[in-house]
Amino acid sequence: MRILFVGDVYGRSGRDALHKHLADLKSEFSLDVVIVNGENSANGRGITRKIADEFYGWGVDCITTGNHIWSQKDIVFSVDQDKKLIRPINYPKDTPGHGFYIHTIASGRKILIANVMGRLFMDALDDPFAAVKELLSQYRLGKNIDAIFIDFHAEATSEKMAFGHFVDGQVSAVIGTHTHVPTADTHIMKGGSAYQTDAGMTGDYDSVVGAKKDVPIARFAKKMSFDRLSPADGEGTLCGVFIETDDKTGLATTITPIRRGGVLQQA
């Protein structure tokens, strides 16, 4: 299975970068499935119904999120009906929405896509390790599911790495999101799961993690600012990873970082 995952889409520049490059990437890599983290796509916080539908129209198969899933109120009223827009699985059980989605590709094979949120320096959600252990007791790679992809949305690199090793060999890939900077540790772990601590942001990198520079600089340099953060609006870089899996085992055979457009070195 040939999978593209695109990291946190931030504001209009991120949406424009996704729209600009996605069709070419689908053709270049003969993709079976496209997964996008959209939790910052609406002006840097959350996602709207309109934006989610735009993503689907561009060829996105599943949208993951994170701690800003509820930042745009209109999404609360449709998230139960939209199974392709998922929120972290370790929210309390009565929370609206779905923590995972099973997508069927053209050949009939199925991929389980799960969204999980870390707890270190984040909201105090349910245990992400226990939540995924329960999920993986129901879906076994190479048995009743052909591929399993996990977006681990977390702040701490140590928590992301620990989680990657925790599920190594049981999933096709674990890719981190949330910190908006692509890490250089792209590899296949010993058990066969593809891993990267953070896919990076899809947005304008002439910024402070996606925001225009003046306000965050003032906050750090002067310890004061009365203005709100606003998304940088220069040309965005699409950041993500391409993953290919073995059809028999579901484990990863390839993981390659993707960077297209904007100021970052291309990959």
Cα–Cα distance for residue pair 129/133, rounded to 1 Å: 6
The closest of 109, 3, 123 to 62, measured between CA atoms, is 3
End-to-end distance of the chain based on CA atoms, in angstroms?
21
Are residues 64 and 36 in contact, defined by beta-carbon separation less than 8 angstroms?
A: yes
Q: Give kind and range of the element (H or E) at residue 134.
A: helix 128-138
Are residues 129 and 140 in contact, defined by beta-carbon separation less than 8 angstroms?
A: no
CB atoms within 10 A of CB 137: 9
Are residues 154 and 65 in contact, defined by beta-carbon separation less than 8 angstroms?
A: no
Cα-Cα-Cα-Cα dihedral sign, residues 24, 99, 186, 266: positive
Query: What phi, psi does 159 have (nearest 5°)?
Result: -65, -40
DSSP 8-class letter at 102: E
**Catalytic annotation, pick one of 68, 153, 178, 180:** 68
CB atoms within 10 A of CB 97: 22
Q: Is 68 one of the annotated active-site residues of the chain?
A: yes
Are residues 37 and 60 in contact, defined by beta-carbon separation less than 8 angstroms?
A: no
* Radius of gyration for the alpha carbons in the chain, expressed in angstroms and rounded: 17
Task: Cite the active site residues.
Answer: 68
